[in-house]
Amino acid sequence: MENLATKKNWTDEERLELAAQLDAQLDEFIDGLEKKRYEEGWPEDRWQEEMDKHPFFMKRTPQPGDEVHPMFEGLQKLKYDPEENTLEELALNYKEDGNFYMKHKKFRMAVYSFSEGIKTKCENPDVLAVLYNNRSAAHYFIKNHRSALSDAQRALFYKPDYTKARWRAAQCAYELEKFDVCTQLCEELLEVDIDHKDAKALLHKNKMRKLDAERNQRKEAAESKRRLTRFHKLRDALEQRAIKFDDQPINKRPNITENLLRPKFLPLEDYPVHLDEDSSSLIWPAAFSYPEFLLSDFQQQLPETATMLDCLNTLFAEPLPCDKTLSYRPDNVHVYYENRKAGCVHKVTLSKTLREIINEKGFFVSGGALLFYVVPKNTRIEQEFIHQQRRPLVYS
Amino acid sequence: MDNVRELIQFMQPNQRLDLKAVALTHVLSLTGSTEGKDAILSLEDMLIAIFGLTLDANSTVAKDAVLSLINLTAEEAGAIRVFELAKQVQPSFDIVGVAAKQICDEQAELADAWSMVLSNLTRVESLVHAILDTLEPTLPKLAKAFAKLDYNKKKSKLHYLAPIFCNLTQVPRGRELCCQPKYQLLEKLLPFASFEESVVRRGGTIGIIKNICFDAVYHDVILNEQDDILVAILQPLCGPEEFSDEDNEKLPIELQYLPESKTRETDPDLRKMLLECLLQLCATRRCREVLRAKGVYEILREYHKWEAKVGRDSECLLACENVVDILIKKEDEIGLDNYKSVEVPAEQADKFIQEDAAYVKSLLD
């Protein structure tokens, strides 16, 4: 009692005086109604505002920035002043506030109140356990599962047999996919109550989800390994054929990356060079340009074993829409590729396979694809194409 | 004999420590030989003294006493003798209860030794029912201690709990208790069928599975929607081989997309037991259909290649082919809903054995 007394600034006399003052306030209000004509009361245009601020009639607690009625300040002081309460009383007051907010689904306000209660650092472990448990519940309802889990675990620290907190911790661990934590907590619940149906169901659900997650990890690892294996085979095939790329330094071992191989032509973008099913032939994306018409045909998957004549037969199976004179026929065209490093063009022998053509000294893969130019044989168009000005590429 | 009897006086609980220790050292060395064991087993007072010292305050004395019990119970006759005597003496020594209590005690230094004693006792089928009377309430705790690898804080591994459970499932009551869904004992035990660090733990667990598979009552329990027993059987038979996505999707989820670091069970006896489990599960049409749907054939196809080249155990190869022969047949070719009710004439059985032997010989290079 003496310890309690030393926490007060207010004397009993002062507390009684405050209570009497409140009584007088109420009496005065009632007397005003019964005995006098209405005068010197609240202005008619502001009576509601004044009423809302009065501690006896307010419908909501003051929000930050609100003007606070002096009486309300006094009431709060009674409730929250550390000088007026033991730490435990203070903590329990905040717990009541928090529970009030929980009832009204004001979960963030509840978190705030429970936090203030925890900050009191009262020494009663049961009180602390309840504050952490209740804050955990508040976090849970606003789906802060991580905070809810750690609060539930703190509650268990202070009260190891706290079933309500343990069950919430298990649910949070499940949401966070902390499978082993969830399993451990469910098994602890079942140890205490073998017939805890919810814990049994969650234990099973958690196990299934963990198996699924682990399988997906293994599957992803397997697919990743397969992709890497395929890429290594592809790179080996490209190196074995000594493929040259025009955006790489000459006479150096090429640094073959997926980015290097990604076709830069939009219609070929999703069809980078790759190996066929049995890894024996390369399959190439290719562009066939018609200088006369300033347009191109794109072939997404050409096997390196195909001859250029095969390609032309495919291209001209139907006439080009813009070829009015039917000049573009396999027996009436020449095909060239450009050596951009040297700034010159080479004519293709139609009977050669793509692989043979690509192996020629002057051939470079350009923009991740094969690039050819098709012109009518022995025409002005061909002469213009051959003799047009070309500057060699310069690379550091 | 009289020399052995003289040791008894030095083995009383209140005897001087150094005398107790020396006497017990002698007893322990005696239990290492058949003659010594027989001599001790014939002396009732000696056994009573050993019982008493298993709980001695001095850990060295207690340890030698328990180690002596391990040796004394190693054969069936000795196990029966020790068990019956422990019951008869006044006051009786609850050897099973003491063992279980020590095993469940996180701080017990002799938990492993006691589990070996209990393993020896449970191996005697005629004792299992009486032992279960004592153990039944403790089984969930034993399973928990078994499943939690660092349960014992004094470095006891508790591996011998696996043979204990295996021995208990020799009898129908033991199988019933293990398969009871309420306590989920089986769920705790099964994962250790693939436990690389201890062949004792693996062997015991696989033995449990075999005992359950050989009891047709449990086949529907075994091949339920959860796959746990089937996974426990198949996982040690799976290797690093890749399956297509289609084949992978058939397999139980735990066996899908196994990494290339996956290895198979190294002990051929255990591999053979697993294959015999699968053969038992092929007894009914429903189970055969479940096994096919779960990709068992695909697993055994890869396993068989491995066994022929790497494992090279002829009995395992034969056991594998017996299962595969059944699985690759269509149901109308089999024409039997339950193999177990078919009787094979004696002369045909002999012929099958000879044909099997010749066939296996032709498989190996």
The partner residues of A372 in beta bridges, in order of sequence, read A288
Beta-carbon separation of A215 and B182 below 8 A:
no
Q: Is residue B276 in a domain?
A: yes
Rounded to whole angstroms, the Cα distance separating A386 from A338 reads: 10
Distance in angstroms (rounded) separating the CA atoms of residues B162 and B164: 5
Is the interface score ipTM higher than 0.85? no
Distance CA B202, CA B193 (A): 5
What domain range is B323 assigned to?
226-334+346-365
The mean pLDDT value of chain A amounts to: 84
Nearest-neighbour CA in chain A from B82: distance (Å) = 35
**Proportion of chain A above pLDDT 70, given as a percent:** 88
Using a CB–CB cut-off of 8 Å, the residues of A that contact B are 194, 211-212, 214-215, 218-219, 221-222, 225
Chain A contact for B248 (CB, 8 A cutoff): yes
Strand-pair partners of A298: A287
How far B244 CA lies from chain A's nearest CA (Å)?
11
DSSP A313-328: HHHTSS--TT-TT---
Domain count within chain B? 1
Render pLDDT for B64-91 as a digit per residue (tens, 0 to 9). Answer: 999 999 999 998 999 998 999 998 887 8
Tell me the per-residue pLDDT of A47-82, one tens digit each, with 9 for 90 and over.
Answer: 777 777 777 777 666 766 766 777 777 777 777 777
Q: Closest by alpha carbon to A111, among A93, A99, A120, A122? A: A99
| Angle in degrees, 0-180, between the axes of helices B44-53 and B17-30, rounded to the nearest 10 | 120
For range A35-46, the mean pLDDT: 62
In a domain, B238, yes or no: yes
Contact: B256, A221; criterion CB under 8 Å: no
Residue of B256, B258, B261, B262 to mutate for A, most A C-beta atoms under 10 A: B256
- Rounded CA-CA distance B128/B94 in Å is 15
How many beta-carbon pairs below 8 A join chains A and B?
23
Chain CA centroid to CA B35, Å: 29
pLDDT of residue A396: 35
CATH class of A258-387: alpha beta
Instruction: Give yes or no for a contact between A166 and A182, defined as CB atoms under 8 angstroms apart.
Output: no
Instruction: Please tell me whether the peptide bond between A82 and the residue prior to it is cis, using omega within 30 degrees of 0.
Output: no
The C-alpha atoms of residue A274 and residue B354 are separated, in whole angstroms, by: 54
pLDDT tens digit string along B313-343?
999 999 999 999 899 876 766 776 666 666 6
Name the strand (E) or helix (H) holding A295.
strand A295-303
Q: How far apart are CA A336 and CA A373, in angstroms?
A: 5
In a domain, residue B47? The reply is: no
Task: Kindly state whether residue B102 falls inside one of the protein's structural domains.
Answer: no
Give Rg (Cα) of chain B: 24
Minimum mean pLDDT range among A12-21, A162-171, A236-245, A359-368: A12-21
Look at A128 and A250; give whichever has higher pLDDT. Answer: A128
A377 alpha-carbon distance from chain centroid: 58
Task: Select from A188, A216, A218 the residue whose CB has the most chain B CBs within 10 Å, as the one to mutate to test that interface.
Answer: A218
The residue ranges of every structural domain in chain A are 85-209, 258-387
Its CATH class, for the domain covering A85-209, is: mainly alpha
Q: Is residue B284 part of a domain?
A: yes
Q: Looking at CA atoms only, how far is residue A215 from chain B in angstroms? A: 6
